[in-house]
Amino acid sequence: MSYTVKCFECGKTITDNFADACPHCGGLLTVEMDLERLADLTPADLRKRPIGVWRYAPLLPVCEAKAITLKEGGTPLYDCKAMANKAKLKKVYVKFEGANPTGSFKDRGMTVGVTRAVELGCKVVGCASTGNTSAALAAYAAKAGLECVVLLPSGKVAAGKLAQAMFYGAKVISVDGNFDDALNIVKKLAAEGELYLLNSINPFRPEGQKTVAFEIIDQLDFELPDRIILPVGNAANIWAVYKAFVEYRQLGWIDKVPKLTGVQASGSAPIVDAYRHGTSDFIPQDHPETIATAIRIGNPASGKKALKAIYSTGGSAVDVTDEEILTAQRMLGRSEGIGVEPASAASIAGMIKLVEMGEIDKDERVVCICTGHVLKDPDTIIKSFGKVHQAKADLASVKACISAKD
């Protein structure tokens, strides 16, 4: 676990453990693992260990012996035949990240991020969040015995996520603004030394999150998919997945990287706009809006990294409407029994759209990463799907409900 923190943009080495941007050029930070030291390691060595984030400890920049873990990762990879039929694709897999301890992929990043906080001797951790990051951080901070402060965009966090942050004992602050406003404030708090920042601009977070790709490789026995599709919000996760494949390729364990495809909601799609214009930077949007509140982000902090991941793998980016998201969410639930939150269903909606547009070849083997659990956002379900039939407490009344057409 020898590594260097570097600037993603100017490449300089960063020595300040608390920097969240490059002191030379303001660029994003990234962790560069010293892979030469792992020359003797083989995939078989790793696969002797139980599947989960810590199976990949030699590729993580923190000390496993001190890990703050809730046994995250090891989530199912479902072979979704009904979904493949509906999308007219050869093979569709869903990597169900809702099966993580707090119900989203953020747990992968937080087990590493909070372990790092403990290694650095921090007492207070914090983040801005559209909900899932705060739920995960609150839980891992509780496990580590740290104080936790979370800043949430007022009125725009799904009920399950808000409940989790409160439940695990974080100080929950509802900010009268959107996620981008909350992130700006929490960065200032971190700069003043009030807390250790655990948003995904902290380069240790994507290190944990990259394990989702290692698991997909293991679960497919190194028969790599042609494409991986995932939702993009603050834009670190697609970078994390990219980094994982690049590391395995550097180790000589794989020889290609799947096309990475990012999906955003139409009301909140700066990365898709940049992709359409072929630019390596993006123009922030002032008023992002979507039912998929997890990805309601106009100024994705890791946007440049996401674009690099997309361009260098020959992937793409596409936006989907709220209606397409809800249709995909229902389709996945009712054809496969997999319950995901709206942002996660964006990956399914994006896949369907790209097949229709002819951008995904029908012979492709596709993995959709579904990032969060359906119970994160019960209100959207109750508002958007199905109906509850009201019966009197007698057999005839219940039978009448059963035979009702709607």
Name which position in 35, 122, 182, 343 contacts ligand F0G (CB under 6 A): 343
Task: Closer to ligand F0G by CB, 115 or 371: give it.
Answer: 371
Name which position in 30, 115, 133, 202 contacts ligand F0G (CB under 6 A): 133
Name which position in 68, 212, 244, 295 contacts ligand F0G (CB under 6 A): 295
How far apart (Å, rounded) are the C-alpha atoms in residues 280 and 308? 7
127-148 b/e (C-beta count within 10 Å ≥ 16 → b): bbbbbbbbbbbbbbbbbbebeb
Name which position in 30, 75, 100, 104 contacts ligand F0G (CB under 6 A): 104
CA dihedral sign of residues 160, 162, 166, 169: positive
- Contact region for ligand F0G (CB under 6 A) — 16-24, 66-74, 126-134, 328-336? 126-134
Q: Determine, following the binding rule CB under 6 A, whether residue 329 of this chain makes contact with ligand F0G.
A: no
Query: Which pair of structure tokens corresponds to residue 210?
Result: 């990259």
| 147 phi, psi to nearest 5 deg | -75, 150
Q: Determine, following the binding rule CB under 6 A, whether residue 126 of this chain makes contact with ligand F0G.
A: no
- The stretches of 59-198 forming alpha helices (DSSP H) are 81-87, 106-119, 132-144, 159-167, 179-191
How far apart (Å, rounded) are the C-alpha atoms in residues 310 and 308? 5
Cβ 238 vs Cβ 260: under 8 Å? yes
Task: Closer to ligand F0G by CB, 87 or 152: give it.
Answer: 152
How far apart (Å, rounded) are the C-alpha atoms in residues 47 and 119? 27
Gyration radius from the chain CA atoms: 21
Task: Closer to ligand F0G by CB, 233 or 258: give it.
Answer: 233
Q: Determine, following the binding rule CB under 6 A, whether residue 344 of this chain makes contact with ligand F0G.
A: yes
Q: Determine, following the binding rule CB under 6 A, whether residue 298 of this chain makes contact with ligand F0G.
A: no
Q: Determine, following the binding rule CB under 6 A, whether residue 131 of this chain makes contact with ligand F0G.
A: yes
Footprint of ligand F0G on 10-29 (CB under 6 A): none
Cβ 102 vs Cβ 137: under 8 Å? no
Task: Closer to ligand F0G by CB, 235 or 328: give it.
Answer: 235
What is the closest distance, in whole angstroms, from the C-beta atom of residue 3 to ligand F0G in the complex? 21
Q: Determine, following the binding rule CB under 6 A, whether residue 372 of this chain makes contact with ligand F0G.
A: yes
Q: Determine, following the binding rule CB under 6 A, whether residue 236 of this chain makes contact with ligand F0G.
A: yes
DSSP state of 181: H
What is the closest distance, in whole angstroms, from the C-beta atom of residue 131 to ligand F0G in the complex? 5
Question: Could you give the string, one character per residue 250-289, with x where binding to ligand F0G holds by CB under 6 A and - elsewhere?
Answer: ----------------------------------------
How far apart (Å, rounded) are the C-alpha atoms in residues 358 and 347? 16
Angle (CA) 234-235-241 rounded to 5° is 140
Beta strands 124-128 and 196-197, pairing class: parallel
Count the site residues for ligand F0G by CB under 6 A.
Answer: 22
Footprint of ligand F0G on 176-235 (CB under 6 A): 200, 231-235
Q: Determine, following the binding rule CB under 6 A, whether residue 293 of this chain makes contact with ligand F0G.
A: no
Q: CA 278 from chain center: how many Å? A: 24
268-283 b/e (C-beta count within 10 Å ≥ 16 → b): bbbbbebbeeeeeebe
What is the closest distance, in whole angstroms, from the C-beta atom of residue 377 to ligand F0G in the complex? 9
Q: Determine, following the binding rule CB under 6 A, whether residue 339 of this chain makes contact with ligand F0G.
A: no
Footprint of ligand F0G on 41-80 (CB under 6 A): none
What is the closest distance, in whole angstroms, from the C-beta atom of residue 388 to ligand F0G in the complex? 26
What is the closest distance, in whole angstroms, from the C-beta atom of residue 177 to ligand F0G in the complex? 14
CA dihedral sign of residues 122, 59, 317, 360: negative
What is the closest distance, in whole angstroms, from the C-beta atom of residue 185 to ligand F0G in the complex? 14
Task: Closer to ligand F0G by CB, 35 or 231: give it.
Answer: 231
Task: Closer to ligand F0G by CB, 35 or 73: give it.
Answer: 73
Nearest CA-CA partner of 307 in 279, 343, 339, 337: 279
Q: What is the DSSP string of 297-317?
A: -SS-TTHHHHHHHHHHTT-EE
Residue type, 234: N
Name which position in 75, 130, 164, 290 contacts ligand F0G (CB under 6 A): 130
Q: CA 323 from chain center: how many Å? A: 21
Beta strands 3-7 and 77-79, pairing class: unpaired
Query: Contact positions toward ligand F0G, by CB under 6 A?
Result: 104, 106, 129-133, 200, 231-237, 294-295, 341, 343-344, 371-372
